[in-house]
Amino acid sequence: MPTFHTYDGTELAYRVMGEGEPLICLPGGAMRAGAYLGDLGGLSAVRQLVVLDLRGTGDSAVPDDISTYRCDRLVEDVEALRRHLGTDRADLLAHSAAGDLAALYVARYPQAVRSLILVAPTTRAVGFPFVEREAREAAALRSPEPWYASALPALEEIWAGRMTDELRAAARPFLYGRWDAAAQSHAASSAQQINSEAARAYYGQGAFDPAATVAALRTLAPPVLVLAGEYDGVTTPDRAAELAALFPESEFAVQRGAGHFPWLDDPGAFVRTVTAFLDPDVHSVQAGGIRLAHRMWGDPSAPPVVLVHGRCGSSATWTTVAERLAVRHRVYAFDFRGHGLSDWPGRYSFELFRDDLHAFLEVRNLAGATVVGHSMGGAAAYLLAERQPGLIGRLVIEEAPPPFPLDPPRAAAERPGEELDFDWSLVPSTDAQLNDPDPAGRELLGEITAPTLVIGGGPRSQIDQDDIARMARSIPGARHVTIDAGHLVHTERPEEFLAALRSFGVG
């Protein structure tokens, strides 16, 4: 492992995983060796992880002065690592007890931080105390688990102030969203990875000045992500949300089904959330209870256009068209649930995709925007336009599956073997609806009041062009054009696609 010498000469070690921009990772515990973070669920495929072993843990040296284990004094070790790496402004991730260390660090060195990610962070540095009621409510969520009855007494003892290694071990299932073999192995390594003497000193008297820290955090310029596990009783979602509210520019996310180690409970969900946050071109909103990642182009004051991708795609498929439209429009493109960097909740239907679009328009205050939907996104758009007259200003439906039963029906699809950037379960769910769509979808086409342009891809498309023409005739006043490009009109023939939009008054 590479090492460096910190301010007092103590030699500290760190692990490096992955390529790209470095992300400094601070382990919790308190004072647990960084090995338990692993590669943070595969986050090393996105960023270079620099995982510090705090002094006296893992491969780092034990200091001559044990008082330097105190949290506020560890701040200078983090700063020494940043300087050692030659990074002017660091992206910083902190887990659990390291949330307090990170809070003190950014309060002392705000100019050295580009972004901050707090994962299941503790909150002593800002003066938020442990609330037993919240911890009990979190524990009660686990009552259906087979281990609950045997683990709860240990947790009761801990809440009563009696902490032993045996009680800590017995209560560990509460820290994980799934108490499976991986979680049990991870938990078993805890005792040998924690420096108990250092952990006692970490929260030593004088470590924190909450009033001063809160005042500093309220003026922090860099963006902050606070990520909580749904089942976490160490830092409950409510307490994490309270912490997030301290920062001027913060994003708050709750990972469903996760405990105190969310990258273990659902690596994909964890990596998608963190990746979206770290990408400066991607933003996230909570819309209808789902985190929707999205991209934006153009002048915020320009007329809005919302681009809606097709099945198994993402907002990135619109980049070429979006950049061209952004000359005269404020352009938005989001990832539907189950796609790209948005949440993958596991339940999918055309109606839920319709609801994603509806929620996105509302949360971004985009009533009256032009909506351009491709394929599945086009279906979501016309389903919304049927039920919400006036919400969509102008509607463009590109190669959307018409609401007529497929003849012959689509056969069951087989999942590809490679890793996917969408949730495969959405494919069989929507295939079933394509074969037997809700009759209301076609019965309500006549209720669409938005000016509508329907674009077909011609004979190379797998969608029946006669059905597309039939759908266009069913929408009052709709224009129908064909661009011989197949199903992917806007990617295969962007110039002709944009020309069709201009003739419709968009662009």
Q: What is the pLDDT of residue 130?
A: 87
Q: What is the pLDDT of residue 491?
A: 97
* φ, ψ at 317 (rounded to 5°): -65, -15
Q: What is the pLDDT of residue 459?
A: 96
Enter the DSSP assignment of 309.
-
Q: What is the pLDDT of residue 255?
A: 97
CA distance 378 to 399: 7
pLDDT > 90: what percent of the chain? 95
Q: What is the pLDDT of residue 163?
A: 85
Q: Which residues of 304-341 are buried (b: 16+ CB within 10 A; e: fewer)?
A: bbbbbbbbbbbbbbbeebbebbbeebbbbbbbbbbbbb
CA distance 434 to 426: 12
CA distance 480 to 426: 29
Q: How confident is the model at residue 105 (pLDDT cuts 50, 70, 90)?
A: very high
Enter the DSSP assignment of 58.
T
155 to each of 89, 167, 172, 262, how far by Cα in Å? 41, 7, 9, 20
Q: What is the pLDDT of residues 139-151, one digit of tens each?
A: 999 999 999 999 9
Token couple for 318: 């619109």
CA distance 108 to 410: 60
Q: Taking Cα atoms as reference points, which of 211, 259, 203 lies closest to residue 231?
A: 259
Q: How confident is the model at residue 288 (pLDDT cuts 50, 70, 90)?
A: confident
Of 4-13, 114-123, 404-413, the one with minimum mean pLDDT is 404-413
Q: What is the pLDDT of residue 165?
A: 85
Cβ–Cβ < 8 Å for 354, 382: no
| Range 164-168 average pLDDT | 88
Helices first, then strands: H and E counts in the chain: 20, 16
Which strands make up the sheet holding 22-26, listed edge to edge? Answer: 3-5, 11-17, 48-52, 22-26, 90-95, 113-119, 224-229, 250-255
Q: What is the pLDDT of residue 407?
A: 86
Sign of the four-CA dihedral 256, 259, 264, 270: positive
Q: How confident is the model at residue 507 (pLDDT cuts 50, 70, 90)?
A: confident
Q: What is the pLDDT of residues 430-444, one digit of tens each?
A: 999 999 999 999 999
Angle 353-359-364 from CA coordinates, rounded to 5°: 130
Q: Taking Cα atoms as reference points, which of 97, 506, 139, 107 lies closest to residue 324?
A: 506
**In 204-329, where do the E strands start and end?**
224-229, 250-255, 283-287, 290-297, 304-308
CA distance 239 to 276: 23
| Range 203-224 average pLDDT | 97
Q: What is the pLDDT of residue 73?
A: 98
| Range 129-158 average pLDDT | 94
Nearest 10 degrees: Cα torsion 34, 35, 39, 40: -60
pTM over 0.85: yes
Residue 345 has pLDDT above 90, yes or no: yes
User: Tokens 């039963």, residue?
Assistant: 405
Enter the DSSP assignment of 401.
P
pLDDT > 70: what percent of the chain? 100
Q: How confident is the model at residue 164 (pLDDT cuts 50, 70, 90)?
A: confident
How confident is the prediction for the chain on average, in pLDDT? Answer: 96
Q: What is the pLDDT of residue 221?
A: 95
